[in-house]
């Protein structure tokens, strides 16, 4: 269905696209994404996206940066939402066993377990080491993924 949509759009001409784009851009300009522009600019520059003067000269670059920031924010929010659902599901499952835990775990905490489950649907494999026998103080988890 997406494919059909694409075909339709290209054949209908770009008026709709332009209208949608301009509408989107206008809405985009009024929205400040949570991910700051400088961070996005930094990583875009790393991957080869050149933008000499972001705000002054090229409005298009600025739009691109904002677009990327918004897209990333959307992605992270989705992952977080999924993880949240996982967390809630886990809590709901546990509550059946003990009533104490329900009162304790009212706080929703993002854990590796929930995150790895949520990311698996996006094709990201995050491995989490259960415990460290030698040095329990170190907490850095190696995150490996395949996209």
Partner 1 sequence: MNHGGGESTSRSESRTDTSSDRPKAEDFSRAVSKMAVAQICESVGFQGFKDSALDALSDIAIRYICDLEIGKCLVGSGIVKEIIDFVESKEEIPFAQPIPQYPVIRSRRLIPSFEEMNETPPGKHIPSWLPAFPDPHTYIYTPMWNERKSDPRADKIELARQRRKAEMALLSLQQRLVCNGETGTSASRPANDEEELPKTGSNPFFAKPLQSGEKDISPVGLPAKLKDKMSGGNHMSVMEAFAPAIEAVKVSGFSDDADGDRRYLPEKRPAVHFKFRAGKKFLGEILDSSLQKKGGRRSASFWRDEEKDDKKRRAEFILKQSIENPQELSQL
Interface with partner 1 (CB under 8 A)? 2, 5-6, 9-10, 14, 17, 20-21, 23-24, 27-28, 30-32, 34-36, 38-44, 46-47, 49, 64, 67-68, 70-77, 79-81, 83-84, 87, 107-112, 114-115, 119, 124, 126, 128, 137-141, 143, 145, 147
Q: Which is nearer to partner 1, 5 or 93 (CB)?
A: 5
**37 vs 95 by CB, closer to partner 1:** 37
Tell me the two tokens of residue 63.
């739009």
Nearest to 30 by CA among 70, 60, 61: 70
Residue 62: how many other CB atoms lie within 10 Å: 19
Q: To the nearest whole angstrom, how small is the minimum distance from the Cβ of residue 80 to partner 1? A: 4
Separation CA 94–CA 99 (nearest Å): 9
Which tokens is 97 given? 């066993």
Least separation in angstroms between residue 100's CB and partner 1 is: 17
The structure tokens listed for 24 are 């989107």
């Amino acid at each position: 269905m997406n494919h059909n949509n694409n075909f339709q759009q290209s054949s209908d001409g770009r008026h709709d696209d332009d209208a949608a784009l301009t509408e989107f851009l206008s809405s985009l300009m009024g929205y400040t994404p949570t991910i700051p522009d400088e961070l996005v600019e930094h990583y875009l520059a790393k991957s080869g996206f050149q933008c000499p003067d972001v705000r002054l000269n090229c409005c298009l670059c600025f739009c691109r940066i904002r677009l990327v920031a918004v897209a990333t924010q959307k992605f992270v929010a989705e992952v977080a939402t999924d993880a949240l659902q996982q967390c809630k599901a886990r809590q709901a499952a546990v509550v059946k066993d003990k009533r104490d835990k329900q009162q304790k775990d009212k706080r929703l905490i993002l854990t590796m377990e929930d995150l790895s489950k949520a990311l698996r649907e996006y094709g990201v494999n995050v491995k989490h080491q259960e415990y460290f026998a030698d040095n329990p103080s170190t907490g850095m988890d190696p995150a490996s993924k395949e996209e």
